[in-house]
Amino acid sequence: MNLRNITSIAIVSITVLLLNSCSSDPNSPGLEYMPDMYRSPAIEPYVDYGEIRGRENKEVKMLLSAKTPPMGTIPYYGTDEQEVSLMLPYARKANTSFELSHGMFGAELTDVDEYTLAAADMNPLKLTADNSEAIFAEGKELFMNNCSHCHGAKGDGNGPMMENGSFAGVPDYANLKELSDGQLFYSIYYGKGAMGAHRSIINKKEIWTIVHQIRSIQNPDYGKFDSTTTMATEVIVDSIPVEVEIEEHH
């Protein structure tokens, strides 16, 4: 074979290769010589790799693709600032004594009495004339689904679990008025005494919603708005226009 033949064979093969690599389908990249260099093998949690581009991967089909998120990660709830701040990890730690009794898997523990410190925590979910109805409606539903079997629909501590004798020692909310919102949250979140932790059952926004609900069970006027006063109770609400407050005091 002489040089000319080699050159013409090379030219022909390169031309054939180039022409073949094009495709008339505008959505197709054509012939791919090294697909794993531009197709990322990265595992994406919500992608089902059981079927890729018409090809079936029997080994990975029907496997769990979404992985359990690590402890302490923040769920994504849109871009609403208040919504996001309610979902940040709870700053208060569980007491070391809770570790075995209340299933504190993955929680940070401390010997400090954070329950007492939680007395200073305010409910970050503020009631306004616009949102109170929705908050109490949701709070009632959450309470009926998660708490009333022990605490009773009226919060008097006489739920069906108490009445049929399978549980004891549930307090009447009327006797818990001294507890601050922050302490209610702490006890619901980590549990207390014979009550288990609810941190894995309901989220923080839901717990703060239930805290409002407990307050309205304790005081039927709690969170009631009318046209003259912004709220019938002494609860301070962030969104009260300043003028209204000043008028009230004069």
Interface ranges with ligand HEC (CB under 6 A): 146-147, 149-151, 161, 167, 169-171, 176, 179, 183-184, 187-188, 192-195, 198, 210
**Cβ distance to ligand HEC smaller for residue 104 or 184:** 184
Q: What are phi and psi of 37, to 5 degrees?
A: -85, -30
Q: How far is the CB of 146 from ligand HEC (least distance, A)?
A: 4
> Cα Rg for the chain, rounded, in angstroms?
30
**Cβ distance to ligand HEC smaller for residue 152 or 230:** 152
Rounded to whole angstroms, the Cα distance separating 250 from 245 reads 9
Q: How far is the CB of 77 from ligand HEC (least distance, A)?
A: 20
Rounded to whole angstroms, the Cα distance separating 157 from 145 reads 15
**Contact predicate 152/158, CB 8 Å:** yes
**Cβ distance to ligand HEC smaller for residue 104 or 150:** 150
Q: How far is the CB of 26 from ligand HEC (least distance, A)?
A: 56
**Contact predicate 224/234, CB 8 Å:** no
**3-state SS assignment for residue 68:** coil
**Cβ distance to ligand HEC smaller for residue 8 or 96:** 96
Q: How far is the CB of 221 from ligand HEC (least distance, A)?
A: 20
**Contact predicate 122/112, CB 8 Å:** no
